[in-house]
Structure 1
């Protein structure tokens, strides 16, 4: 009989959900992942596929008033668990207070194994100062019998669990076969979107963390902007502001705001250079996917260098402005042999099958 694992604090979007979605497919013969989210879950083709595998999605209506919702969450989650039979709860979060809101009721409900998974290394969204204070207050309380620390990088482990921790490293693996470059798909997508010249791409939430305004400034800095197109893949609270800024700076017609899409790989095929000027990350799944696709990548030096898996991946400063990024893009020789990248990532342990084996071993313990 398959065991059920509850994935807590995932809303159907983002890198953490993408990782768990891929892992569920790898482990579907032995484990079924259910999902609990305090607000409205974002349904897509991925969630439909998970439901076909047997996953159940539970959503609460606690985000109309976020303060009240967060205060009520532990009570709601405790009663939810008391009426279920989960012996493993896997909490995915970027801040310690979010982990704690699920950890305390899971302990009280008698869950045998609780996994705290750190996915980030900074504060995103509104009320950053308050969130940072709460994060630091709650960090010392993330412990207890049956609690396992899980992390995607050293910097994410330090962020969530402190300097001296015993966190287990779980690589943000991807389906290398799925993300391998396909020239025929590239031609089809570029024709469909009327893409010409050099396509600069970015995948992720349009938010403070991802620093999208930096890319608009970069587009303005090219002396021959007609040679470049900026393709944003993703959505977020800042989308309207980013679009307005692009219009104000006069480069809106050179930007494509594609929104969320299930099959990101087709858009990666169409790109030439992948850009990620993030202010912070844990270890971004999207950057691993871009390298699996063989793209030349330019990433912020605020991201851990553990994400640098190919020689064609460069880490540049974001605080000194866009000029250095512009120069690096101009000096890039567009890679024609992109299919070979998957072999390198496989050797470095970033195949989703290897990640799944390690997670299964953690679930099987005890």
Structure 2
């Protein structure tokens, strides 16, 4: 395909945080930058995750449509979107969203002549905790109105899982929803025994100590009340030797302060290490990962942990299709902490089994090959190119 024939694709949804949407966008551009002209539409003044690297490596363009401020300011969002898409033309607009709130972006893009993919990355009406009491009460009704408006538009519905599709789309659109597998590079997450031993030695952890890890943004969605309660129970019952939290988020300082008030025997064994580039080494060093989330779309972290052969105990709100290795176990967040601790203690796996999981990852529906096939078919069918 020559440069002139390249389709212009606008990607919306990436933020400054590192989450599932940001990983998806980065993978999309990395894999397809030679075939399509990508631009990113951000909705905050901050750079989106890895913005500098993506611009330098792939020459993408960026736009900013400010969509933040008071609840009253939201009245003007549709007008701003209409003005933007009158000035800028795109063949495809790929919206990555956690709710139907951005239906007005889809509507404005359609009016501007673009084909719109609206991809659901979530399975629950979130964000209610950000606003005042009155707005919190009204938000579920507002979201239902937004969902109806979204599903009346001629969008191409897509989702990361069947749960995410059910959450975002009408029954009619659910039947047409394209499930896009969350590709990740399994090679990065392969279990490394030498790195495990090295990190444990550096951190003063014995070979037979049970290490539990959480790899997540420190936000409401990830349910850190439950996480810290499980950690505390596991430490007090001498089931968990050390607990690590890998990640940042808007609750980071609040949770650090909370742990500092715990008993010394507990706080000395809970470690916040921030966002890490070598997440795979933290996984290799650990024995089990927990994820008692309140809601999820299809978490990358869980896919990555399985490629590492790291057993994971997760909330039953997470789509069962994530369990491509059989080493993930699902549990209700309503279960007592002692149940979570006992189950996490029972989840053992050998070095050879951890290596076997990597081979399963490279052949799973979350492999690069499947990702390329689904995205290529989707974009080509929309743009009218031959398969």
The TM-score with structure 2 as length reference comes to 0.86
Is there any run of 5+ residues in structure 1 with no aligned partner, and where? none
Does the CA-based 8 Å contact 2:13-2:21 persist in structure 1? no
Q: How far did 1:28 drift? A: 2.2
Matched, 1:305 2:320: yes
Partner secondary structure for residue 268 of structure 2: helix
Q: Please point out which of 210, 213, 216 is paired with 2:228.
A: 216
Compute the RMSD of aligned alpha carbons. 2.2
Look up the match of 1:121: 123
Look up the match of 2:193: 183
Distance 1:31 1:228, change over 3 A: farther
Look up the match of 1:167: 177
Q: How far did 1:119 drift? A: 0.5
Distance 1:106 1:256, change over 3 A: same
Look up the match of 1:107: 110
Look up the match of 1:80: 84
Q: How far did 1:124 drift? A: 2.8
In 2, the alpha carbon distance for the partners of 1:148 and 1:217 equals: 42
In 2, the alpha carbon distance for the partners of 1:275 and 1:5 equals: 37
Look up the match of 1:349: 365
Partner secondary structure for residue 296 of structure 2: coil
Does the CA-based 8 Å contact 2:182-2:371 persist in structure 1? yes
Q: How far did 1:167 drift? A: 0.6
Aligned pairs for 1:1-366 within 5 A: 1=3, 2-13=6-17, 14-43=19-48, 46-51=50-55, 52-63=57-68, 65-98=69-102, 100-111=103-114, 113-125=115-127, 126=129, 127=131, 128-143=136-151, 147-164=155-172, 165=174, 166-196=176-206, 197-222=209-234, 223-225=236-238, 227-250=240-263, 251-337=266-352, 338-365=354-381, 366=384
Partner secondary structure for residue 282 of structure 1: coil
In 2, the alpha carbon distance for the partners of 1:305 and 1:319 equals: 18
In 2, the alpha carbon distance for the partners of 1:252 and 1:130 equals: 39
In 2, the alpha carbon distance for the partners of 1:104 and 1:167 equals: 18
Distance 1:290 1:117, change over 3 A: same
Distance 1:267 1:161, change over 3 A: same
Does the CA-based 8 Å contact 1:22-1:352 persist in structure 2? no
Q: How far did 1:320 drift? A: 2.0
Distance 1:76 1:318, change over 3 A: same
Deviations 1:265-317 (A, max 9, x none): 23222222111001111111111111111101101112121222222211112
The TM-score with structure 1 as length reference comes to 0.91
Q: How far did 1:34 drift? A: 2.0
Deviations 1:205-256 (A, max 9, x none): 2122111121111122124548422211222222222222222332222122
Partner secondary structure for residue 96 of structure 2: strand
Deviations 1:121-141 (A, max 9, x none): 113332454332222111122
Moved more, 261-270 or 21-30: 261-270
Aligned length: 362
Does the CA-based 8 Å contact 2:16-2:46 persist in structure 1? yes
Partner secondary structure for residue 6 of structure 1: strand
Deviations 1:331-354 (A, max 9, x none): 122431222213223333111332
